[in-house]
Amino acid sequence: MRRRLAVWHLLGPSLLVVAVAAVGTTTSPTIQFQVRSVLVTAAIVVSLYVFVGNSGVISFGHVSFVAVGAFAAGIASAPAEVKPSTFPKMLPFLANLEIGNVESLLLAALVGAIYAFWVGIPLMRLSGLSAGIATFAVLIITHNVIRNWEAIGPGAKTLALVPPTTGFLQATVGLLIVMAIAYGYQRSRWGRRLRATREDPLAAQASGIEVHRERLIAFTLSGALAGFAGGLFVHLLGSITTEQVFLDLTFVTLAMLVVGGIGSMWGALIGALFIAGLNAFLVELEKGVVLGARELDLPSGTRLLTLGVIMFVVLVTRPEGLTGGRELSWPIRRRRRV
């Protein structure tokens, strides 16, 4: 029973993802883009969940790893013919580099992991509010380095001509990989130890669990997944600026995690699909949609206002998030979460 339930915890959400992608392929091209972007956003939120959900420590810095992954994959895979002329100050090694799609995604994950590990060594000693502020500082530092150090990034310019390889297949498979790794970690002995420190830090330490070490493992893994999701993101957009992986994305992805339910992967996924889906829907409504005989054209600003109101209502009525921080329960026989 428990084994079947454990399989379901991953299989159920995966089926939902495949269903969303399958429905997405039948829609118009603009909606298709929105659905793919929902899937990539979900990958970012699940990567954030790996650290925040399991450790209970808030991180405002995860979009740094998304940014690092996005620029690593984008710069490494953009055509070598145009880079030296567009970015004259870029290191020749980077300007002349051109690697394939999959390689660029793996590079994004690797760079995200290394960067997260490196900043995690001092950061993981902190807890609570100071951890939140310090991770936020990492976000600001990262943003400014990428934006101003033209030897390694596009500077204030747009990085364009990145191969747009994140179609439905890549978005779906990418998200499923992130979910499988997130779930595997959560079930592993490292995941359990970290969740124990989240529930009761004193009891965990008294049981011999090394809080710093367990947090650093999760932070590094989470950084790798965020970097990978950043790679998916840059290949979805085809062009990117540093502003697209900064404050807005940070707050939106954290809001998704909190709305969905911070304590479970199911919550991370539901929050992302719900908010990103709603957002995409409202974007289209603001542009104007013909519904039967009438044309519905909402004034601009409706989207953010509606999102804000819905998030407010969800959090007031369900402070634990839409899923209550639980994994998906077996649909036939109801059972408490494991």
Q: Hey, what are 2's tokens?
A: 């428990």
Total interface residues for other proteins by CB under 8 A: 19
Do residues 189 and 73 touch, judged by C-beta distance below 8 A?
no
Q: Which is nearer to other proteins, 78 or 211 (CB)?
A: 211
In the complex, the smallest distance separating the C-beta of residue 73 from other proteins, rounded to whole angstroms, is 37
Do residues 314 and 259 touch, judged by C-beta distance below 8 A?
yes
Residues 175-194 that bind other proteins (CB under 8 A): 192-193
Alpha carbons 36 and 192: distance in angstroms, whole number:
32
Cα separations in angstroms, 316 against 230, 258, 322: 31, 12, 11
In the complex, the smallest distance separating the C-beta of residue 259 from other proteins, rounded to whole angstroms, is 20
In the complex, the smallest distance separating the C-beta of residue 213 from other proteins, rounded to whole angstroms, is 9
Do residues 68 and 142 touch, judged by C-beta distance below 8 A?
yes
Do residues 116 and 65 touch, judged by C-beta distance below 8 A?
yes
Q: Which is nearer to other proteins, 136 or 190 (CB)?
A: 190
In the complex, the smallest distance separating the C-beta of residue 265 from other proteins, rounded to whole angstroms, is 15
Task: Return the percent helix, strand and coil in the chain, to nearest 5.
Answer: 70, 0, 25
Place of tokens 């495949």: 18
Q: Which is nearer to other proteins, 227 or 263 (CB)?
A: 263
3-state SS, residue 242: helix
Residues 71-130 that bind other proteins (CB under 8 A): none
Give how far the C-alpha of residue 179 lies from the chain's centroid of Cα atoms, to the nearest Å. 11
In the complex, the smallest distance separating the C-beta of residue 208 from other proteins, rounded to whole angstroms, is 3
Q: Which is nearer to other proteins, 123 or 204 (CB)?
A: 204
Q: Which is nearer to other proteins, 30 or 207 (CB)?
A: 207
In the complex, the smallest distance separating the C-beta of residue 182 from other proteins, rounded to whole angstroms, is 18
In the complex, the smallest distance separating the C-beta of residue 70 from other proteins, rounded to whole angstroms, is 35
Q: Which is nearer to other proteins, 157 or 213 (CB)?
A: 213
Residues 195-234 that bind other proteins (CB under 8 A): 195-196, 199-200, 202-211
In the complex, the smallest distance separating the C-beta of residue 4 from other proteins, rounded to whole angstroms, is 15
Burial environment of residue 59 by CB neighbours within 10 A (0 to 12, 13 to 18, 19 or more)? buried
Cα separations in angstroms, 98 against 72, 78, 95, 123, 173: 11, 6, 8, 34, 23
In the complex, the smallest distance separating the C-beta of residue 45 from other proteins, rounded to whole angstroms, is 21
Residues 307-336 that bind other proteins (CB under 8 A): 336
CA-based nearest residue to 229, from 260, 253, 259: 253
Do residues 84 and 96 touch, judged by C-beta distance below 8 A?
yes
Q: Which is nearer to other proteins, 195 or 303 (CB)?
A: 195
Q: Which is nearer to other proteins, 151 or 203 (CB)?
A: 203
Cα separations in angstroms, 286 against 164, 245, 306: 26, 23, 12
Q: Which is nearer to other proteins, 103 or 210 (CB)?
A: 210
Alpha carbons 233 and 210: distance in angstroms, whole number:
34
Tell me, what DSSP letter sits at residue 159? B
3-state SS, residue 233: helix
> For binding to other proteins (CB under 8 A), which residues are involved?
192-193, 195-196, 199-200, 202-211, 336-338
